[in-house]
Amino acid sequence: MAEYDRVKAGKLLADVPDEYVFRCRDDGIFRNMRDLRDGLVTINDDTFLFHANAGKNDFGNWVSDVINDQELARDLVKVSSRLEAARTVASRVSTLSGKLESRRS
Q: Span 47-62, mean pLDDT?
A: 96
32 has a pLDDT exceeding 90: yes
Q: Is the separation of the CB atoms in 38 and 32 below 8 Å?
A: no
3 has a pLDDT exceeding 80: no
Collapse the DSSP code of 53 into the 3-class scheme (helix H, G, I; strand E, B; otherwise coil) and give the result.
Answer: strand
List the chain domain ranges: 2-101
Q: Span 38-58, mean pLDDT?
A: 96
Q: Is the separation of the CB atoms in 16 and 63 below 8 Å?
A: no
pLDDT of residue 105: 46
Instruction: Tell me the torsion sign for CA atoms 39, 45, 49, 53.
Output: positive
Instruction: Tell me the torsion sign for CA atoms 60, 41, 89, 7.
Output: positive
